[in-house]
Amino acid sequence: MVGRWTGRGSRGASPSRRGRARILRTQHQSSVRARTLSHSSNSTSSASAILRIVADRSEGERLAADEIESLLKAKPDAALGLATGGTMTGLYDELSRRHAAGRVSFARAKGFNLDEYLGLAPADPRSFAAYMRASLLERVDFAPGAARLPRGDAPDAGAESKGWEEAIAAAGGIDLQLLGIGRNGHIGFNEPGSARDSRTRVVELDDTTRADAAAGFGSLELVPRQAITAGVATILDSRRILLLAFGRSKASIVRRMLRGPVGPECPASWLQGIGHALVVVDREAAAEL
Ligand code: F6R
């Protein structure tokens, strides 16, 4: 069925399987535009991300929560790729509500967060670990230690990064990876310049990324300069990818992600060729499409 996201897709679809996003509008909207806008020269190729434009962020959050709820019902021990940031807070609220209502359980699930600031211990209130505890982990029923983040205070960040890849592999791979998008096109902390085949590693944070984080740290100078992030390949290997973007401030990068050239200048553009990726944007974030 055209444009219906089944969530099925080959793991690690190659960049040669590039297409452009098919566009779906939700039922409340009058028009349905669903198409594969281009095909690569590979005749077996028709992979392309699916774009779903929703009325507002709460509709997007419900849709994302539906995906996670269905996955956990079908596969209670699923491995979830989790993200932080403002985009995710409403989704985590929705999942917490559904958990409280007995609709969804994380008791057998595993969680792997995308990234953490280098140098911050999990107890640091500015860490992504602290964000995750407050936003989701203390509100639902993950088993102790089952939802993890890279350790920002690891004594050997290289070993931590290698171990992260091994832990994901040992869990059987990520079943569903949640993503936000930075204003510079980053996914995780894969900043512009990140290679398609990059893996979990230490990265230098871009100026835009640090500026966007400054409020949470009190000033730009206090924002860490480095982070550990899952790589582009680590992310794209996931069985399903669900990227959320809400608000007018994301409109121009959403356009670059879906309509711009595919390549390291906008790491999120690698999703164009990923048939098992669903991009959910509200009307404001879709304003430049
Ligand atoms: C967070 C992450 C980042 C954010 C992105 C968007 O774990 O990996 O890529 O998803 O910076 O952040 P918000 O949602 O705050 O706009």
Q: In the chain, where are the structural domains located? A: 15-282
Around Cβ 27, how many Cβ atoms within 10 Å?
7
Is the separation of the CB atoms in 95 and 61 below 8 Å? no
Whether 186 is catalytic: yes
Instruction: Please identify which of the residues 94, 186, 212, 237 carries the catalytic annotation.
Output: 186
C-alpha atoms less than 13 angstroms from C-alpha of 258 in its C-beta half-sphere: 31
Whether 42 is catalytic: no
Residue nearest to atom 11 of ligand 1 (CA): 182
Tell me the whole-structure pTM to 2 decimals. 0.89
Between strands 147-148 and 240-245, the pairing is: unpaired
The band of 217, judged by pLDDT with boundaries at 50, 70 and 90, is: very high
Closest by alpha carbon to 210, among 228, 189, 230?
Answer: 189
Look at residue 147 in the predicted model and tell me its pLDDT: 98
Q: How far apart are alpha carbons 13 and 21 in whole angstroms? A: 15
What angle do the packed helices 86-100 and 57-74 form, to 10 degrees?
Answer: 50
Residue 16 has pLDDT above 60, yes or no: no
The band of 19, judged by pLDDT with boundaries at 50, 70 and 90, is: low
Tell me if the domain spanning 15-282 has CATH number 2.60.40.420: no
Looking at the CA of residue 249, tell me the nearest atom of ligand 1. 16
Whether 184 is catalytic: yes
SS3 180: coil
Which amino acid, residue 273? Answer: G
Closest by alpha carbon to 80, among 116, 115, 111, 113?
Answer: 111
Identify which has the larger pLDDT, 43 or 139: 139
Q: How far apart are alpha carbons 3 and 110 in whole angstroms? A: 29
Look at residue 47 in the predicted model and tell me its pLDDT: 77
Ligand 1 contacts CB of residue 90 (under 6 A): no
Looking at the CA of residue 250, tell me the nearest atom of ligand 1. 16
